[in-house]
Amino acid sequence: MESLRRKYVRCPHCGFTNFSKNIYCNRCNLKVKRDYSSINKSLAFLFAGFIFYFPANIYPILQSNKFFASYTNTIISGIFELWNDGDYPIAVIVFLASVLIPLLKFLILFYLNISVKSCKYLKIKRRLYKFVEISGPWSLLDVFVVFVLGALIHFRYVSIIPQKAALYFLLMVIFTILSAMSFDERLIGAECE
């Protein structure tokens, strides 16, 4: 069975079975070969995303104007505001999607990239990758909320204006999605068989 596993490889894009030596899939022509250069690509995207994590959390993401009062909110202060207003479930969702999951994604992707050749905890690593792959885009929630609020509330005396952290946050999420996409999951445990 092990020899069969080494002989064939599943195309991650269309599911077709190819010989391990194939570089491109016989059915969809997309790349199928296990590629160690994907680690460099994934790490590069990850660091790019990590750079944007700091301005995304330090700078304000929203500016709210109500009549003659104007105040700005960072992601963290927005979560506290939701919590203090009693919107506990929403505060938890925003906290998970905007603070905890991005941070976990960085840690997990970094760990996966540096430990890809290690044969320990293979099952856990595969599950961690699945978690990153599925939860990754959900960090866009905050950017979309800013978009909806900015597009809806732009009156003379009441307005919500997106601030620069929204752009940094969006860039951070895009780079981490690209990092997760670049990482070749099949490399986990590839040298342990």
Which residues are at the interface with other proteins (CB under 8 A)?
A: 1, 4-5, 8-10, 13-19, 26-30, 82, 85, 87, 90, 93-94, 137-138, 140-141, 143-158, 162, 166-167, 170-171, 174, 181, 186
Is-contact 176 109, C-beta < 8 A?
yes
Residue with Cβ nearer other proteins (111 or 147) = 147
CB of 49 to other proteins, least distance (A): 15
Residue with Cβ nearer other proteins (132 or 170) = 170
Which residues, 6+ apart, have CB-to-CB distance to 51 below 8 Å?
none
CB of 94 to other proteins, least distance (A): 7
Q: Distance between CA atoms of 12 and 129, rounded to whole angstroms?
A: 14
CB of 106 to other proteins, least distance (A): 19
Q: Distance between CA atoms of 143 and 127, rounded to whole angstroms?
A: 27
Is-contact 27 13, C-beta < 8 A?
no
CB of 110 to other proteins, least distance (A): 22
Beta bridge partners of 65: 70, 159
